[in-house]
């Protein structure tokens, strides 16, 4: 590691460092820096520079993000999942970190980025912020693995936001019945100047399946005629539907556990028995609810709830409503897990624990019973 001497105009001497290194692209580059008072200072600069290069990769973050997405594509993620990742990266991450070398992005920079997410004028939901932060964490995990980044600065800063909402809205069967009856009242809806692209009866059948069978919206919209076995009163859930950039997509279900074959409640069986024969086409592979979109479900549930004075819930909350109904009917976690198609009972526990307050009462009652029995046995002895 040579250090070279040169003279200034006043005759004094200085040293400069000049050496070669290989950058993150594999290109041979030269580093040149002058102005050192001592030869050992110039040599120390070279040592520090190469050491930092070895432990602090100079790959621009934008390139890291690009490589991360390419890696995701190689794992055959759903096109909708990839699209969502790309959107979040371009909207919330690249504007801040794009041209920065990944080795220069430290925990202080990440903490400032996290604070700005919270202070955003758009007032993002805690779950949305949590997802953005997690995505950045996974990108830096990839950097640790591929580019030998010493540590993940996002993991150092920790998680932000919330994985799930603290509060979960749902309707009771009584509230749902009020909603369905109002939805089917076409005369009332016309007088309220509610206009729909999908007829009320089709919407009623769809909402009834969502409420009593706990399907995800994509699972409902993917149902075909051969998924319905009226003879055995069974409903087969094997796929999910997504409208993506103007194209209808039939995709693999969310998880392997999402594939399930459930027995239809009598109310669902009755409605489908009356509804399916009226459809113009009964092609086994044709989607039953082609006339329905997520937006039509969203508009219907919100317009009717508003007219009725019911608490407004999301379409997905009908799935939570089904879980609530099952819990109140005495079903345990494993039964709810299987019926709803959760991949792990821990998911069911995390989401629906609040639906089982009576379980803790039951535990206390059993303890009291054991104590009383023990006391009585001691008295007898």
pLDDT of residue 240: 94
Taking only the tens place, the pLDDT of each residue in 5-28 is 899 988 899 999 999 888 767 788
Decide if pLDDT at 360 tops 60.
Answer: no
Could you give the percent of the chain with pLDDT greater than 90?
53
Minimum mean pLDDT range among 132-141, 201-210, 272-281: 272-281
Q: With b meaning 16 or more CB within 10 Å and e meaning fewer, what string describes 93-125?
A: beebbeeebbbebeeeebbebbeebeeeeeebe
Would you place residue 377 in the very low, low, confident or very high pLDDT band (cuts 50, 70, 90)?
A: low
Decide if pLDDT at 2 tops 80.
Answer: no
Residue of 314, 293, 292 lying closest to 305 (CA atoms): 314
Minimum mean pLDDT range among 29-38, 161-170, 282-291, 368-377: 368-377
Q: What is the pTM for the complete model shown?
A: 0.72
Distance CA 19, CA 31 (A): 5
Taking only the tens place, the pLDDT of each residue in 175-224 is 999 999 999 888 888 887 888 888 899 999 999 999 999 999 999 999 99
Residue of 61, 58, 59, 120 lying closest to 90 (CA atoms): 61
Q: Output the average pLDDT for the chain.
A: 88
Neighbouring C-alpha atoms within 13 Å toward the C-beta of 370: 6
Q: What is the mean pLDDT of residues 297-323?
A: 92
């Amino acid at each position: 590691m040579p250090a070279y001497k040169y003279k200034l105009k006043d005759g004094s001497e200085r040293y400069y460092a000049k050496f070669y290194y290989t950058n993150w692209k594999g290109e041979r580059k030269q580093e040149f820096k002058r102005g050192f008072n001592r030869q050992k200072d110039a040599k120390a600069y070279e040592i520090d520079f190469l050491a930092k290069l070895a432990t602090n990769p100079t790959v621009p973050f934008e390139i890291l993000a690009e490589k991360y997405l390419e890696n995701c594509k190689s794992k055959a993620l759903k096109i909708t999942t990839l699209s969502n990742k790309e959107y979040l990266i371009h909207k919330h991450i690249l504007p801040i970190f794009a041209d920065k070398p990944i080795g220069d992005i430290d925990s202080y920079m990440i903490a400032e980025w996290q604070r700005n997410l919270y202070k955003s004028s758009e007032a993002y939901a805690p779950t949305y912020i949590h997802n953005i932060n997690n995505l950045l964490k996974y990108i830096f995990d990839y950097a640790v693995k591929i580019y030998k980044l010493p540590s993940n600065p996002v993991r150092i800063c920790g998680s932000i936001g919330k994985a799930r909402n603290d509060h979960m809205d749902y309707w009771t069967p009584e509230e749902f019945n009020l909603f369905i009856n109002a939805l089917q009242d076409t005369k009332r809806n016309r007088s309220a100047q509610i206009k729909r692209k999908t007829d009320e009866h089709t919407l009623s059948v769809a909402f009834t399946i969502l409420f009593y069978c706990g399907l995800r919206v994509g699972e409902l919209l993917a149902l075909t005629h051969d998924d319905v076995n009226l003879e055995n009163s069974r409903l087969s859930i094997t796929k999910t539907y997504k409208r993506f950039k103007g194209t209808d997509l039939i995709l693999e279900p969310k998880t392997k556990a999402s594939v399930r074959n459930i027995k239809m409640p009598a109310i669902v069986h009755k409605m489908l028995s009356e509804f399916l024969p009226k459809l113009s086409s009964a092609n086994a592979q044709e989607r039953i609810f082609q006339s329905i979109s997520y937006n039509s479900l969203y508009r219907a549930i919100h317009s009717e709830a508003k007219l009725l004075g019911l608490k407004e819930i999301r379409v997905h909350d009908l799935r939570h409503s089904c879980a609530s109904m099952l819990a109140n009917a005495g079903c345990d976690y494993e039964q709810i897990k299987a019926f709803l198609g959760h991949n792990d009972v821990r998911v069911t526990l995390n989401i629906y624990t609040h639906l089982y307050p009576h379980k803790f009462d039951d535990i206390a009652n059993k303890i009291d019973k054991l104590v009383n029995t023990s006391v009585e046995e001691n008295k007898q002895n």
